Amino acid sequence: MAITKAEIVTWLEKITAVIQENKDYLTQLDSPIGDADHGINMSRGFTKVLEKLPSVADTDIGTILKTTGMTLMSSVGGASGPLYGTFFMRAGTAMAAKQELSGDDLYTLLQSGVDGVVQRGRPQLQDKTMYDALLPAVLALRAALDNGSSIHAAVETAVAAAAKGRDDTIPLQARKGRASYLGERSIGHQDPGATSSHLILQALLDSLENQG
């Protein structure tokens, strides 16, 4: 079963809701190893995305995602704006003119977004960043689709991989961003970017629940 444009819009709405629900939690995670503003910045950005959605909801999926990325770029502070903005802009470019998505399209959407994050931030696995949740998720999605899973089941697998990647950041020493300045003091803290990445993918799964 294909992913509809309406489900993509629902995904963005659910991201906004789950980021809002977890705003304080994300900021608490960011407090010991960052600027204590990740939740605040993400909430601001996706609130702006929600405001923009009605003006693009009747366009194609690519335009919806590119508009999301541009909105995040212009409204989210810190490193999160450029990284998540690039993620959605690259995803939108890859999905240009599409009105619905196959499983392979979804993989291309997410992989294109991750490629954008890599180009902008140059992360590697175990740097203690959002990439530690995103890359395992995309690899798990691809493997599940290749094994014949439905889109819904493949996204479930991807979300579980993102959750493990998020949790696996706790014992890591940060090698990127503000957290890297702390050296060994960054060990023992869950990365807020990996956490928000997992929430974004969980919101995608929640938007597909009617696909069973």
The class (CATH top level) of 3-211 is mainly alpha
- The CA distance from 53 to 210, in Å, is 21
Domain ranges of the chain: 3-211
Name the E strands within 38-160. Answer: 100-101
Give me the DSSP letters along 97-116.
T-SEE-HHHHHHHHHHHHHH
| Close Cβ partners of 108 (under 8 Å, ≥ 6 residues apart) | 94, 95
Half-sphere exposure of 185 (CA within 13 A, CB side): 9
Map residue 144 onto helix, strand or coil.
helix
Q: What pTM was estimated for this model as a whole?
A: 0.96
- Whether the CB-CB separation of 153 and 144 falls below 8 Å is answered with yes
Q: pLDDT 10s digit of each residue in the chain, 212 long?
A: 899 999 999 999 999 999 999 999 999 999 999 989 999 999 999 999 999 999 999 999 999 999 999 999 999 978 899 999 999 999 999 999 999 999 999 999 999 999 999 999 999 999 999 999 999 999 999 999 999 999 999 999 999 999 999 999 999 999 988 888 888 988 999 999 999 999 999 999 999 976 65
